[in-house]
Chains A and B, each alone.
Chain A
Amino acid sequence: MLEIKDLHVEVGGKEILKGLSLTVNAGEVHAIMGPNGAGKSTLAYFMAGREGYKHISGSVTYKGQNLLDMAIEERASAGVFLAFQYPIEIPGVTTMTFLKTAVNAQRKARGEEELDAVRFLKLVRVKAKALNISDDMLRRPLNVGFSGGEKKRAETLQMSLLEPALAVLDETDSGLDIDALKIVAEGVNALRSPDRAMIVITHYQRLLDYIVPDKVHVLSNGRVVRSGGKELAMELEETGYGEISASAAQ
């Protein structure tokens, strides 16, 4: 599904990713952990195609294609989804309108028939209910005045409607209390499938109690310094990042 080889990326003239490599297969959930400034969010934004992230060297191959050749929206329509750490407010555009516009934009780009209002509404209702999202919330402008929990649930709803092949969840647990975290995690778990890969970026081990990863990678100073199974996350919880980062620096 995704193969990243020796990736170097600069932000504002400073090298942030320094030879990162990572392979994610369909059906797998990978957790990327690491201290602040390790390059976790940079990796997420760079894969999504955000401006201001300069590619120096290395490759990112998605489903056999060079992901870096594709425009932001092309990546989205090809199935790359980024759940934002801080979802952006879209004033005046109701959540429902935004969702419909996004779903149909992707369907159109893939040459599929666009969904009419009735079919779309039915689909949204079912998915929204599972995430405890009310009709009222769907009528409000997207993310405007949403609580932290509402924003993350709205992100999860978008993911469940867009059905991406590769979902990157950037610090989805930040700003969530335990109840909201459970709802979001359930939503994410419901999307686990043999055709879908997920990359869960998190600072804390807590999220991984609910979204149990197949693999855990520790990112430090722009590189993957250790990889392992879910037990690696537990170990980190006890020892902290200090030791791993220190050993990586040697």
Chain B
Amino acid sequence: MAVQETVETVEETGKYKYGFTTDIESELAPKGLSEDIVRFISAKKDEPEWMLEWRLDAYRRWLTMEEPTWAMVDYPKIDFQDLHYYAAPKEMEKLNSLDEVDPKLLETYEKLGIPLNEQMLLAGVAVDAVFDSVSVVTTFKEKLAEVGVIFCPFSEAVREHPELVKKYLGSVVPKSDNYYATLNSAVFSDGSFVYIPKGVRCPMELSTYFRINEANTGQFERTLIIAEEGSYVSYLEGCTAPQRDENQLHAAVVELVTMDDAEIKYSTVQNWYPGDEDGKGGIYNFVTKRGDCRGARSKISWTQVETGSAITWKYPSCILRGEGSVGEFYSIAISNNYQQVDSGTKMIHLGKNTSSRIISKGISAGRSTSTYRGLVSVHRKADGVRNFTQCDSLLIGDQCAAHTVPYIESNNPTAIMEHEATTSKISEDQLFYCRQRGLGEEDAVALLVNGFCRDVLQQLPMEFAVEAQKLVAISLEGSVG
């Protein structure tokens, strides 16, 4: 029967390709979380006093908070004292050029398909590579500096650009925002910092690749992107992790700020290890991403392709404060085997004539569950708001589930909101039709799923659209029922 065949195909071809471990000597903080650990991390990063105080304040708040339970995900209680909060490849500090990077690390990134050798890089993509708790290397920094763009590891920004970090850190996601964001605020390790000055159109795509390597280690990166008046940047993040039997925690915070007429396009291809076919292992992905359209006519656009993680808890959001600002959310969330996804977006309309657009495509296979959870809220003073929401779910097989939980809060009678939702299955008819034209079963599924995701795939930067299409195909190859 086709179902059985395809299940087998998934087992063969759907294997996680990034599951290898790099054997490299690491420096680990002792397990557990305490004020001392927070101080240890801060000291490791050579941080100024104000940064340490900020962390400690977050840590004390975190102690008073409780883990949220409202998401439609189910997992054993996390023992936060059984984790390492800092891991770094030894002798990694203060590298000036790629030649100084441990060849094993370069090899790791090459295996991941991310060559860090500058000559080999795709023209026009600058990369920041984060390995466990530290940034390994950032490429094209000098070229970017010529136009005034700052693109560097977060820890470097704390030292070199304290005025900018002080001004914007926590201004979009306050340190007391939620359980995981607060935890991140206390122990965040590294991440990327981007500053685009007034009127500058960033001359290349910026991207960060996150890699968790060490076992029993949490990854808590922090990303901050500021786009000054009339500027533009397109940023992409990619994530992978080794295949391990135990679960690993990832709790990141991303903050975006756009001033008048500025635009940030933020794309994510998330491929953390999803666990095996029995649901063992995999990353717990609890992420807070939020953008603040502070300026008039500014725009923030989130595009995400989520294929990995055992559990995904993630709601990239936009605060539409500036008059006429625009928020967009384009999402493809694929879940297979025992993966659980609870993801969506929040569009908070505060300014007049603000508009938002949400296109969410959920694809569930195996025994996975996928929930779209979204909020569109309109402030009473925000006249002329427009929102369009479309949530489509595709089910593959008969043991998976898809849910849609849209919240709409409108306090202004002039708001116009549209919501569309569909749920469908890949039909035997479609498969038969494609195969009759010569497509193998896997290719047929890939074609049909890519067709389903088309509206979102079109939003990705060209360089990554092809990669994402392949990823979509690999995550699901042949999983048809």
Contact = CB atoms under 8 A, between A and B. Distances in A.
Of B427, B428, B429, B436, most A-chain CB atoms within 10 Å? B436
B437 A105 contact: yes
B106 to A, nearest CB: 34
B59 interface: no
A220 interface: no
B407 interface: no
A198 interface: no
A93 interface: yes
Nearest to B457: A92
A91 B451 contact: yes
A221 interface: no
B451 A90 contact: yes
Interface string B432-463: 11111111110100011011111100000000
B192 to A, nearest CB: 33
Interface residues of A, number: 31
A172 to B, nearest CB: 15
A233 interface: no
B434 A90 contact: yes
A105 B450 CA distance: 17
Nearest to A45: B432
Interface stretch (A29-37, A81-89, A176-184, A203-211): A81-89
B432 A93 contact: no
Nearest to A82: B436
Contacts of B429: 88
A197 interface: no
Nearest to B437: A102
Contacts of B432: 48, 50-51, 72, 88
Interface in B47-90: none
A216 interface: no
B430 interface: yes
B451 A105 contact: no
Contacts of B455: 92
Contacts of A105: 437-440, 443
Given A72-B432, A88-B429, A101-B443, A93 B438 contact: no
A96 to B, nearest CB: 13
Given A51-B428, A88-B433, A91-B452, A101 B447 contact: yes
Contact of B450 (A50, A75, A81, A92): A92
Of A72, A90, A98, A102, most B-chain CB atoms within 10 Å? A72
Of B1, B429, B435, B448, most A-chain CB atoms within 10 Å? B435
A202 interface: no
B430 A88 contact: yes
A90 B448 contact: yes
A106 interface: yes
B122 interface: no
Q: Interface size class for chain B?
A: 20 to 34
A77 B438 contact: yes
A109 B430 contact: no
Contacts of B443: 101, 105
Contact of A84 (B427, B433, B438): B433
Of A49, A82, A101, A141, most B-chain CB atoms within 10 Å? A101
A97 B452 CA distance: 14
A7 to B, nearest CB: 19
A49 B438 CA distance: 12
A98 B447 contact: yes
A48 B428 contact: no
B24 interface: no
B2 interface: yes
Nearest to A110: B438
Contacts of A90: 430, 433-434, 447-448, 451
A73 interface: yes
Nearest to A80: B436
B455 to A, nearest CB: 8
A166 interface: no
Contact of A106 (B2, B438, B452): B438
Of B438, B443, B450, most A-chain CB atoms within 10 Å? B438
A218 interface: no
A240 B447 CA distance: 44
A88 B430 CA distance: 6
Contacts of B450: 92-93
A233 B443 CA distance: 42
B451 A109 contact: no
Interface in A47-96: 48-51, 71-73, 75-77, 81-82, 84, 87-93
Contacts of B430: 88-90
Given A76-B437, A77-B438, A158-B437, A93 B447 contact: yes
A72 B431 CA distance: 10
A162 interface: yes
A76 B438 contact: yes
A108 to B, nearest CB: 9
A103 B428 CA distance: 21
Given A92-B450, A93-B447, A73 B439 contact: yes
A109 B438 contact: yes
Contacts of B447: 90, 93, 97-98, 101
A77 B439 CA distance: 9
Contacts of A89: 430
Given A73-B438, A76-B435, A89-B430, 20 more contacts: A50-B432, A51-B2, A72-B435, A72-B436, A75-B436, A76-B436, A81-B436, A88-B429, A88-B430, A88-B433, A90-B433, A90-B434, A90-B448, A91-B451, A92-B450, A93-B448, A103-B438, A105-B439, A106-B438, A162-B438
Interface of A: 48-51, 71-73, 75-77, 81-82, 84, 87-93, 97-98, 101-103, 105-106, 109, 141, 158, 162
6 smallest CB-CB distances across A and B, nearest first, come from: A92-B451, A93-B451, A106-B438, A102-B437, A92-B454, A72-B435
18 contacts: A48-B436, A72-B435, A72-B436, A73-B438, A73-B441, A77-B438, A81-B436, A82-B436, A89-B430, A90-B430, A90-B434, A92-B455, A93-B448, A93-B454, A105-B437, A106-B438, A141-B451, A158-B437
